[in-house]
């Protein structure tokens, strides 16, 4: 059976597609067969990333980078919920027949497709920026003493999809929250977010993963469809810098947390 990773967060701008593409690239780099599914009907960021990767390969046949088997849904018939759900399940079935790992990118808003994708996850990965604004989709926080008032909309949705998965095939879903775009500078806000996340992890059962620091290399290669793991083989004329080495270590630490 393929292992399914779902990258999800109902707040946009948290780095879901960046996380998804680096996970895909890392799995391909280790020689695994990988499939990817984009459920963001409008933005299709992961699909565009992979199309850029295809274009790079066409232009550089002597410096090819590995590609996942990619599937995506479009806005055609987007108001037909039953048709979209059926199409997603068909594409997921096709992906399972082709790959050892499946990575599903979801939109930064609530949708039926996103809920369905979460319910099929073996592991949900939630990138979250290091701010209480981003944390608000996961929990309501008391500003006076940083106590947790209640789980918020996204946490409730994840719990519901865990129940759906258990009802469907008696399987459980692992949930990992990844602190993303961390500042290199220690700050009160950074410590406070970490403190609240640790308390929340115990309350609603998720694991905190080491995330990616605020580094240009995690974003600058989008137009080429590449990631930092491709820099040693890609024809970009871009030498490896110390910051790239540090970024690769962050990615390795993340993969270790995932058990890869």
DSSP characters over 51-65 = HHHHHHHHH-TTS--
In the numeric block, the tokens 């990817």 are attached to 36
Q: What is the pLDDT of residue 186?
A: 64
Q: What is the pLDDT of residue 179?
A: 87
| Separation of alpha carbons 51 and 207, rounded Å | 32
Lowest mean pLDDT among 71-75, 191-195, 226-230: 71-75
Give the residue from 90, 104, 133 showing the smallest Cα distance to 46.
Answer: 104
Residue 215 confidence (pLDDT) above 90: no
Residue 182: CB atoms within 10 A of its CB come to 18
Number of compact structural domains in the chain:
1
pTM of the predicted protein model: 0.93
How far, in Å, CA of 101 to CA of 214, rounded?
A: 27
Helices 242-258, 16-29: crossing angle, 10 deg rounding: 90
Binned at pLDDT 50, 70 and 90, residue 21 comes out as very high
Higher pLDDT, 156 or 15: 156
- 58: domain CATH number is 3.40.50.300
Which stretch of 69-73, 123-127, 197-201, 240-244 has the lowest confidence by average pLDDT? 240-244
pLDDT at 239 over 70: no
State the residue range of the domain holding 48: 3-258
What single DSSP character describes residue 177?
E
pLDDT for 189 equals: 81
């Amino acid at each position: 059976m393929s292992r399914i990773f779902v990258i999800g967060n109902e707040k946009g701008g948290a780095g879901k597609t960046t996380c998804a593409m680096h996970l895909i690239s890392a799995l391909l780099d280790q020689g695994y067969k990988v499939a990817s599914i984009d459920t963001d009907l409008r933005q299709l960021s992961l699909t565009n990333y992979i199309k850029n990767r295809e274009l790079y390969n066409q232009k550089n046949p002597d410096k090819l980078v590995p590609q996942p088997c990619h599937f995506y849904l479009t806005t055609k018939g987007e108001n037909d919920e039953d048709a979209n759900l059926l199409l997603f399940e068909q594409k997921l079935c096709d992906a399972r027949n082709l790959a050892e790992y499946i990575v599903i990118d979801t939109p930064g808003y609530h949708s039926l497709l996103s809920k369905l994708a979460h319910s099929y996850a073996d592991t949900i990965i939630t990138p979250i920026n290091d701010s209480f604004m981003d944390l608000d989709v996961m929990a309501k926080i008391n500003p006076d003493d940083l106590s947790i008032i209640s789980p918020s909309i996204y946490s409730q949705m994840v719990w519901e999809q865990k129940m759906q998965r258990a009802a469907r095939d008696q399987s459980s879903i692992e949930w990992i929250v990844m602190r993303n775009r961390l500042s290199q500078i220690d700050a009160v806000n950074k410590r406070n977010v970490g403190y609240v996340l640790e308390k929340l992890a115990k309350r609603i059962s998720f694991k905190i993963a080491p995330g990616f620091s605020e580094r240009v290399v995690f974003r600058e290669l989008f137009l080429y469809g590449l990631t930092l793991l491709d820099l040693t083989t890609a024809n970009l004329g871009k030498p490896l810098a110390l910051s790239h080495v540090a970024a690769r270590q962050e990615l390795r630490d993340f993969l270790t947390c995932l058990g890869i």
